[in-house]
Structure 1
Amino acid sequence: MSFRKYESRNEAGRILVDFIENNQPEMLSKMKNTLADFFCFAIPNGGIPVAEGFCAETNIQYDMLIVRKIKIPYNPEAGFGSITTDGTVLINEPLLERLNLSKDEINKSIELTKSEIRERLEFYNKPKDLSEQYQNQIQKKQIILIDDGLASGFTMLAAIKMIKKYSPAKIYIAVPTAPQRTVVRIKSEVAQIFCPNIKRVMRFSVASAYKNWYDVSKSEVLEIITNSEHYINDI
């Protein structure tokens, strides 16, 4: 069965809701009928329009969870780990061993990534210390992590690691597309993964699931959350 490409990330978020309704109607009913028990986190930039579509259909509130890759000094397009908004660090240890970086190079890359996160927080008018806010949003809640797709899954694993620090009731992942190998790698870390388009291919790209793929800008994210009825900036 061929898969129709998503017109946009917002549409992908709405189709995620349709997917849950068609496959687990009781789950969608639970989401809609116990809104106070659920909360969504979108990974910017691409996860924000997906979450906006998803939350418009479910009425669940959402916030952003910034995750930035720790860039390899001589190859900034690749990373050897990730850092989340609250400073949670996840290192790809097997890769780091192969890279043979010095301690100074590692620390410099980590500090640079933390600086990028601070700049993002300032751009989106968010406080530097989010621990109390996260405690209110996450503790004993059913958390849905949203992105525009999974590739290696390392960014999502960092987000999961952070969320677990704040004692959620359950963690779910909702993504429009992902490779099967990544779903298999991550599924034991969460209660469930909702994904309408799981690809069984050797070479995978998130972009291939979208008709008109482009990189979402910080300005677009700011426009979405400023005009959103479901985005919550503070508690």
Structure 2
Amino acid sequence: MEKPYLDRVAAGRALAARLKHLADRPDVVVLGLVRGGVPVAAVVATELRVQLDVLVVRKLGVPSAPELAFGAIGPDGVQVLNPEISERIEPERIAEVVRAETAELRRREEVYRPGRSPLDLRDRTVVIVDDGLATGATIRAAVVLCRQLHAHRIMVAVPVGSVEACAVVSADADELLCLLRPADFHAVGQFYENFEQVSDEQVTAMLTERT
């Protein structure tokens, strides 16, 4: 069966086509979630001719199943937990995962934001972009962070998402644009022909091109 998106670039173009009303607006900033969201966000920002930046948020994976998120963390101590999953995990195990992911978050901020000014979202319209929504935990942490940075309006834009995650994120963000909400959602990658891992070097190159 043919998959909806060839790759993240194609997904970004599909999103940009639905976001044309934001084109050329100086108050709009597109924030790509590291790492997979950045290639999608770069296309959106380029086609809309608006600012691109990066948001470093780390998923908190269940120790026995790391791909399953029980929450997420962001800069400045932002932490969002999914109680339906996190309540089944021992507090000590949660603390271990948080410590490890906090260290990785700091490393990535040093890699992706060297010499870049801290995010200034006051009075900005923010479009948070990722390559898909599985549990929604990472996007929720991103929304919390943007609210703490006094964003005027927060939109989440994704090519595909699970019905459950979309419902959760819709309650947090001011607006959600999710192009596909399939009932048989299992993982984001199942909707891409090419879903290769995005490297640190690719992310920094995209950000440099748009600076």
* Residue 223 (structure 1) aligned to one of 179, 195, 205: 205
CA RMSD of aligned residues (A): 2.3
Inter-CA distance 179–106: structure 2 relative to 1 (3 Å threshold): closer
8 Å Cα contact 1:6-1:210 kept in structure 2: yes
In the alignment, does 2:172 pair up with 1:189?
Answer: yes
Name stretches of at least 5 consecutive residues in structure 1 with no aligned partner: 21-27
8 Å Cα contact 1:87-1:114 kept in structure 2: no
2:118 alignment counterpart: 133
Instruction: State the Cα deviation string for residues 125-153 of structure 1 (Å, max 9, x = none).
Output: 436xx9x722x2x1111110000011111
8 Å Cα contact 2:30-2:44 kept in structure 1: no
User: What is the total number of aligned residue pairs between the two structures?
Assistant: 211
**Structure 1 vs Structure 2: percent identity of aligned residues?**
27
Instruction: State the Cα deviation string for residues 49-93 of structure 1 (Å, max 9, x = none).
Output: 001111111011111111112344454444432111333111223
Q: Which of structures 1 and 2 has the bigger CA Rg? A: 1
CA distance, structure 2, for counterparts of residue 116 and residue 36 of structure 1: 32
8 Å Cα contact 1:7-1:210 kept in structure 2: yes
In the alignment, does 2:67 pair up with 1:68?
Answer: no
In the alignment, does 2:150 pair up with 1:159?
Answer: no
* Residue 104 (structure 2) aligned to one of 96, 103, 116: 116
CA distance, structure 1, for counterparts of residue 129 and residue 4 of structure 2: 18
Normalized per residue, which structure has more helix?
Answer: 1
CA distance, structure 2, for counterparts of residue 44 and residue 151 of structure 1: 15
2:152 alignment counterpart: 169
Question: 1:55 is aligned with what amino acid?
Answer: A
The TM-score, its normalising length taken from structure 1, stands at: 0.80
8 Å Cα contact 2:52-2:207 kept in structure 1: no
- Deviating beyond 6 angstroms after TM superposition, the runs of 4 or more aligned structure 1 residues are none
> Deviation at 1:164?
0.8
> Deviation at 1:3?
7.8
1:32 alignment counterpart: 23
Question: 1:133 is aligned with what amino acid?
Answer: P
Instruction: State the Cα deviation string for residues 81-133 of structure 1 (Å, max 9, x = none).
Output: 2111333111223322212343xx43332222111111112222436xx9x72
* Residue 84 (structure 2) aligned to one of 72, 75, 94: 94
CA distance, structure 2, for counterparts of residue 108 and residue 213 of structure 1: 29
> Deviation at 1:4?
5.6
The TM-score, its normalising length taken from structure 2, stands at: 0.89
